[in-house]
Structure 1
Amino acid sequence: MTNSSRDQRIQVLKDILLRLHHGASPDSVEADFQAHFSDVSPIEVSLMEHELMNGDHGVGFEDVMKLCTVHAKVMAAGVQGKEVPDSQQEGHPVWIFKQENLALQAGLHRIQRLLDALESAESKGQDLDPGLLRGLTRQYQLLDQFQRHYRRKEELFFPIMESYGHDAPPKVMWGVDDQIRDLFGLAKQALKGLVDQAGDASVAQVLATYQAFVQEFKDMIFKEEAILIPLLLSLFSEDDWLAIAKDSPEFGYAIIQPDKEWVPSRVKFGEQGQSGELAGAGRGAETQNVGPAEASADAPVSAGQAGPTTKPVANSAADSVSDSASNSASGSASTSAADSTTSPAPNPEADLPFGGGYLSLKEANLILNHLPFEITFIDKNDLFKYFNTSIAIENKLFPRVPSAIGRHVKMCHPPRSLDMVMTLIDDLKHKRRTSESMWFHRSDGRFAYVTYIGVFDDQDQYMGVLEYVHDIAPLLDLGPDKRGLAPLEGDGE
């Protein structure tokens, strides 16, 4: 397809959504959609949404988010029956994603059966069975694991999409994810009220809140399966998927637990693969990347991220950023590949001035990684530069992954909290505030205490924002004084 015909096709798609935006019914545009598109390209839809949000059409993020459900329904006829690339090897991130959706849908059916039984008992004037309520509570807890599914999507899929210039779909989908989270929160509150026999709680209220959640939740499953996954398979390289697979355990899985690691069959450039084709002579459907004309001509690359044309050149994204994270942890700046070949590596054992004394890079890194806090540093350009690794994955309050290094901070937060985050950073940067703290109880019993501090050098030049997080629940129950151990220096009085 020529650039001209591709642009015309994108324009038609854009016009259809603009008609919906201005009040046209889905039925009135569906015929035009099907007449122009027998095979819908997720790439074109992504570019269209990008243009809608970044052009002079009077359509912003909130508008596109409202159109998202209608857009998905209109697309349904075009994407049904479309052959999905072969990414069904056990352990592959797409395989896991789809298995989770199956498990989550099974959970929806179990909950519905329990709710039907409660509704039947209530309609007959019978007392509610405590066993049914316990079972329903347990099923709600299992279903709540969809949060892990969403977090992996938002923290691992979306950054790579943005690096290829497709920043509109993540913003839209993240906004809808947050709406779904809110609906499930209301459903959980209604169920808790029924279990606790609080106020006017009723089975009808539990049913109403659950059904409101289910409608949006099922719509999101469709969008993931029919729109998001085909788009990702069109964009991502094999190295992208390897990076995602490596970082996925950081966020956990929903209901299912994969027990097999995905290991792709890879050959060196110039060697024959199983098909007899020379490696590098062509790319399969799953690892094929769109060229610059498809991916980057119409979509700018976000600051601090590699563009589509550089993605396939790197090895594993996780491997490359792990090195930079390690360098950052030890206080050294990241260097380019070219520089690393000419500049000698610093001696990790050599003492350097730190604070009121001296530390080697090795000691500084170890100290940072032994602090009982989760530390994150955002540099003066608002890029995510460093996090320490002192807390075990399963105990982290806020999981961080190496592939996020270099990502702009505005891409690391859900749309609804973005304004608050950017306002805080601007206040710290201009010393309207020197620090800010927040604290909240978590459902797992932990009490998160989060502090943000503006960092300035000796010349009072802004360097970035330091965030540190810790669980203060154990500190609230320390009890009487405990003495007997002297501090390293001084008497402690």
Structure 2
Amino acid sequence: MNNGNKRVTRLIGYVKGLKDGLDGVKLYAKYKEDIESVKPQEAFEIFYSLIEEEIQPKEILVFLDKVINVFYKSLLNHRWEKPDNDNFLMDLINENEALVKKTDEIKALMKEPDLSIRKQKLLSRVKELEEFNDHYLKKENILFPYMEKTMDKFHGLSIMWELHDVVRNQIKEAVNVIKDDDSSEQQVNKAIANLFFGILGVKKKEELILFPAASEVLSDDDWYQMHKQSMEYGFPFIEKSSSETINEEEKQIINNGFIKTETGILNFEEVLMIFNTLPVDMTFVDENNRVKYFTRPKDRIFPRSPAVIGRNVNNCHPPASVHIVEEIVESFRSGKEDTAKFWLNLKGKDILIQYFALRDESGNYKGVLEVSQDITEIKSLEGERRLLKWGQ
């Protein structure tokens, strides 16, 4: 075992000691030399080891910041180089810098002495932070899958996804407190403080651990592909970067083959047109729990990027809902169930999410088809329409 691996093993012991509530000063003294030389990738190994022991990301958040603060100096001094193709990385970095400007503006508004006026000024500025969700979506749907494909330890990114969900909830909570006419100054201050701690804490963890580690393990082509895929997302608080030129090789689609069934013959292009024209989002997960295909309808309900292809489906959902995914898959695999459905309200739209077990002619389980549909208009239909009316 090399020195780096030995250091990781010892630091796992240190983190477990913190988790168990042992004396932090004594622990630091015992592991001081290892703490002062920890590297970003080693931090991933440490936290991944906890997940391997079935410690949930939500449990790790309890002591995560304490660990990061202890590792801070070593991580800050770690020297790393940006990739040659750094467009995607720089977009994320620039979004973070723009975020700081937004939080600084909110800090300035907190000095307004009249609470009622302060709330009025704060509301739009805090709601504006909801746009930063696209920053997190690009990480979850593009960057995380590429990193997970390189090494198992990056499955520890589920901890950062959990942090994203915490921040999302903190933004909602802050908005609700500010909108509440009866909320006190203390409540407003606490909500903003919690939000800043969460959202700026994620930024710090990106800069100290995520970005350096990603730059060390991903290829230039990976960065090119990620940047290209990011064009489908928003660019919170910055100008959208220009899309890179697509290689001629990528423009070529094999479409001279035909799919022949008892009900007709289609070529490859026709299959794609049909799938992508259907007013639903469809995602196919194979029998090995790997995402194999998704459609690209005109208006997607949930974001998907090609980076998820080959990704374990458990890593495509927030940690808090993974147990539901596992229950659906195992119920389908065992033959106990064939369908599952959920419905929710998302940004004022009624969304129906259905899961279907896929089985071959012999009844063998072959995967899951997820189908999401905006049923807002369908629910509003009344009576009959037998005459053609465009656009209504």
- For the aligned pair, the TM-score class normalised by the smaller chain equals 0.7 to 0.9
- Whether 1:405 aligns to 2:309 is yes
Map 1:114-263 onto structure 2 (within 5 A). 114-117=109-112, 120-122=113-115, 128-129=116-117, 133-165=119-151, 166-194=153-181, 200-261=182-243
CA distance in 2, matches of 1:183, 1:346: 48
Superposed CA deviations along residues 320-357 of structure 1, whole A, max 9, x for unmatched, are 8x99xx8xxxxxxxxxxxxxxxxxx7843x46115x44
Which structure has more relative contact order (CA 8 Å, sep 6+)? It is: 2
* Structure exhibiting the larger radius of gyration computed from Cα positions: 1
Please report how far the alpha carbon of residue 24 of structure 1 lies from its aligned counterpart in structure 2 after TM superposition.
3.1
8 Å Cα contact 1:88/1:95 also seen in 2: no
Amino acid at match of 1:111: I
Please report how far the alpha carbon of residue 224 of structure 1 lies from its aligned counterpart in structure 2 after TM superposition.
0.8
8 Å Cα contact 1:187/1:210 also seen in 2: yes
Select which of 334, 341, 355 maps to 1:430. 334
Please report how far the alpha carbon of residue 38 of structure 1 lies from its aligned counterpart in structure 2 after TM superposition.
4.5
Please report how far the alpha carbon of residue 99 of structure 1 lies from its aligned counterpart in structure 2 after TM superposition.
1.1
Amino acid at match of 2:74: G
Please report how far the alpha carbon of residue 88 of structure 1 lies from its aligned counterpart in structure 2 after TM superposition.
8.9
Map 1:68-87 onto structure 2 (within 5 A). 68-87=64-83
SS of structure 2 residue aligned to 1:24: coil
Amino acid at match of 1:353: T
Please report how far the alpha carbon of residue 251 of structure 1 lies from its aligned counterpart in structure 2 after TM superposition.
2.9
Superposed CA deviations along residues 170-207 of structure 1, whole A, max 9, x for unmatched, are 0221222222222222222212323xxxxx43343222
CA distance in 2, matches of 1:59, 1:403: 27
- What residue number does 1:65 align with? 61
CA distance in 2, matches of 1:29, 1:243: 43
What count of residue pairs does the alignment treat as equivalent? 387
SS of structure 1 residue aligned to 2:387: coil
8 Å Cα contact 1:352/1:358 also seen in 2: yes
SS of structure 2 residue aligned to 1:144: helix
CA distance in 2, matches of 1:404, 1:450: 19
CA distance in 1, matches of 2:146, 2:131: 23
Amino acid at match of 1:16: Y
CA distance in 1, matches of 2:29, 2:176: 42
- Whether 1:467 aligns to 2:375 is no
CA distance in 1, matches of 2:57, 2:259: 51
CA distance in 2, matches of 1:52, 1:351: 47
- Whether 1:387 aligns to 2:294 is yes
CA distance in 2, matches of 1:25, 1:216: 26
Amino acid at match of 1:172: I
- What residue number does 1:296 align with? none
Change beyond 3 A, Cα 1:473–1:63: closer
- What residue number does 2:88 align with? 93
Superposed CA deviations along residues 385-436 of structure 1, whole A, max 9, x for unmatched, are 1111222xxx321111112111111121121110011101222333433322
Map 1:445-456 onto structure 2 (within 5 A). 445-456=348-359
Amino acid at match of 2:4: R
Select which of 92, 100, 114 maps to 1:105. 100
CA distance in 2, matches of 1:218, 1:360: 50
SS of structure 2 residue aligned to 1:359: strand
CA distance in 1, matches of 2:381, 2:56: 50
Change beyond 3 A, Cα 1:83–1:461: closer
SS of structure 2 residue aligned to 1:116: coil
8 Å Cα contact 1:174/1:415 also seen in 2: yes
Please report how far the alpha carbon of residue 95 of structure 1 lies from its aligned counterpart in structure 2 after TM superposition.
1.1
CA distance in 2, matches of 1:86, 1:209: 35
Amino acid at match of 2:102: G
- What residue number does 1:372 align with? 279
Change beyond 3 A, Cα 1:27–1:247: farther
Cα RMSD for the two superposed structures: 2.9
Please report how far the alpha carbon of residue 372 of structure 1 lies from its aligned counterpart in structure 2 after TM superposition.
1.2
| Structure having the larger proportion of residues in helix | 2
Please report how far the alpha carbon of residue 63 of structure 1 lies from its aligned counterpart in structure 2 after TM superposition.
4.5
Please report how far the alpha carbon of residue 152 of structure 1 lies from its aligned counterpart in structure 2 after TM superposition.
1.2
- What residue number does 1:281 align with? none
- Whether 1:418 aligns to 2:326 is no
8 Å Cα contact 1:379/1:465 also seen in 2: yes
Change beyond 3 A, Cα 1:228–1:28: farther
CA distance in 2, matches of 1:207, 1:485: 56
- Single out whichever of 164-173 and 378-387 deviates more from structure 2: 164-173
Please report how far the alpha carbon of residue 212 of structure 1 lies from its aligned counterpart in structure 2 after TM superposition.
1.6
CA distance in 1, matches of 2:368, 2:34: 50
Superposed CA deviations along residues 213-236 of structure 1, whole A, max 9, x for unmatched, are 221222221111111111111111
* Structure 1: gaps (5+ residues): 123-127, 195-199, 264-314, 327-344, 487-493
Amino acid at match of 1:182: N
SS of structure 2 residue aligned to 1:254: coil
CA distance in 1, matches of 2:327, 2:162: 19
Change beyond 3 A, Cα 1:25–1:92: farther
Superposed CA deviations along residues 371-390 of structure 1, whole A, max 9, x for unmatched, are 11111111122211111122
Q: TM-score, normalised by structure 1?
A: 0.71
Map 1:336-355 onto structure 2 (within 5 A). 347-348=256-257, 350=258, 352-353=260-261
